[in-house]
Structure 1
Amino acid sequence: MTRPAGIILAGGLATRMGGGDKGRLPLGDGTLLSHVTQRLAPQVAAIALNANGDPARFADTGLPVLPDSIDGYAGPLAGVLAGMDWAAQTGATHVVSAAADTPFFPHDLVDRLMIAAQREGTPIALAATLDPQRGALRQPTFGLWPVALRDDLRAALNDGLRKVVLWTDKHGAALASFPATPHDPFFNVNTPDDLTRAETLLEAAS
């Protein structure tokens, strides 16, 4: 499998943060989005940003901005589809998704997703947090997606499908599990308190 493209999912409404672009929130010397971009860039062949509304507000990032092609804020799968369509245009066979509000995801995310898909013989791989009590908890906004399934996904979304795992279970999805210690690598910022915690985690890692 060749190196996949990457899509950062920033198309949500961020209601618990009062709306707006959550990825623009400050974190350390940058923003949530800049930290996500810096983590993903070395792992993929190219990066685009899935965001709705005026793309000019992201001009400073230098990233292609891809809106949902499905109306009505159809959730993360709509962003995955936008990434699939863009990746197909670049010649990539797969795209890896990452959430714009999750700044500490693993540096080996893409390699582990690719290995999991090859090992299990599935077209899709999802990241998971390995919780000591609850086992593997799927992280459906972090996945490896084949562009060959984009028309199937488009049809499912147009039919009203919104839940990621309903679609991935239909096609088969391997899991790439990551330990939840010293913290959940897929911790995401949903509230002001979460942003404070993210600052603490960033300081501890520096």
Structure 2
Amino acid sequence: MVDAIGVILAGGLSSRMGGGDKGLLTLGGVSLLGRVKVRLGKQISPVILNANGDPSRFEGLGVPVVNDTIAGFAGPLAGVLAGMDYAASQGATHIVTVAADTPFFPVDFVARLDATGADLAMAVTPDPERGQARHPTFGKWPVALRDDLRGALNDGVRKVVQWTKPHGCVNVEFDAEPFDPFFNVNTPDDMARAEQMIAEFEL
């Protein structure tokens, strides 16, 4: 039995990258998913992947693959639910999620969320206009809320904050200097920028 399971969320359509499996694109000689898996695996174990379609294309990653249990590409909350359902089958009490296209997330991400003592927590960074920028795919989630989340998804809820706010989600602020650790790769230009960041910050 484990207390928590790490979940890489890769259930999106990658439309801005032209479709296909963005996470399998190579960055600095390693796939995006490979980078995320290693970074998360140093902080929590075990790690699984949430992705839809044929799971065999991710065999090289060496982690279990779970599909959404809500049909129709219902967004990141559907991936969270899939992770919760898997975690429940393993006797885990929580999951910690990261996005498959965000290769430089903080190396103390899991520890910082755990340190709050909160059951439900989300990463944020300072934002000059809004005060804080939320990163809703980066969070800690209690498996005990999985039936509540399932009901919300079936009722049409898709926005993460719409579901987390009533449950008292705690924001955990991470520094955005010297670079934004939650920089995510959505376009070919973003991929080029990520390559620059690897060289510039020795990532």
Taking structure 1 as the reference length, what is the TM-score of the superposition? 0.94
Deviations 1:133-189 (A, max 9, x none): 532211000000000000100011011110000000010110111111111110000
Of 177, 183, 192 in structure 2, the residue corresponding to residue 181 of structure 1 is: 177
* Structure 2: distance between partners of 1:167 and 1:134: 20
* Structure 2: distance between partners of 1:112 and 1:3: 16
* Structure 1: distance between partners of 2:114 and 2:152: 24
What's the secondary structure of 2:174's corresponding residue?
strand
Whether 1:146 aligns to 2:146 is no
* Structure 2: distance between partners of 1:45 and 1:55: 20
* Structure 2: distance between partners of 1:168 and 1:202: 33
Q: Which runs of 5+ in 2 are unaligned?
A: none
Whether 1:67 aligns to 2:62 is no
What's the secondary structure of 2:85's corresponding residue?
helix
Name 2:200's counterpart in structure 1: 204
What's the secondary structure of 1:179's corresponding residue?
coil
What is the percent sequence identity of the aligned residues?
A: 61
What's the secondary structure of 1:96's corresponding residue?
strand
1:90 offset after TM fit, Å? 1.7
Whether the 8 Å contact between 2:3 and 2:91 is mirrored in structure 1 is no
Name 2:87's counterpart in structure 1: 87
What's the secondary structure of 2:42's corresponding residue?
helix
Whether 1:167 aligns to 2:149 is no
Which letter does structure 2 place at the counterpart of 1:134? Answer: R
Whether the 8 Å contact between 2:84 and 2:95 is mirrored in structure 1 is yes
* Structure 1: distance between partners of 2:22 and 2:53: 14
Q: Please give the residue correspondences for 1:11-26 in structure 2 after superposition, counting only pairs within 5 Å.
A: 11-26=11-26
**Between Structure 1 and Structure 2, how many residues are aligned?**
201
Name 2:121's counterpart in structure 1: 125
Q: Which runs of 5+ in 1 are unaligned?
A: none
Deviations 1:73-101 (A, max 9, x none): 00000000011111112221100000000
Which letter does structure 2 place at the counterpart of 1:34? Answer: G
1:123 offset after TM fit, Å? 2.8
Deviations 1:48-95 (A, max 9, x none): 100000001011111111000000000000000011111112221100
Name 1:194's counterpart in structure 2: 190
* Structure 2: distance between partners of 1:85 and 1:27: 31
Whether the 8 Å contact between 2:125 and 2:132 is mirrored in structure 1 is yes
* Structure 1: distance between partners of 2:60 and 2:149: 31
1:3 offset after TM fit, Å? 5.0
* Structure 2: distance between partners of 1:39 and 1:4: 16
Identify which range, 125-134 or 148-157, moves more after superposition: 125-134
Whether the 8 Å contact between 1:129 and 1:185 is mirrored in structure 2 is no
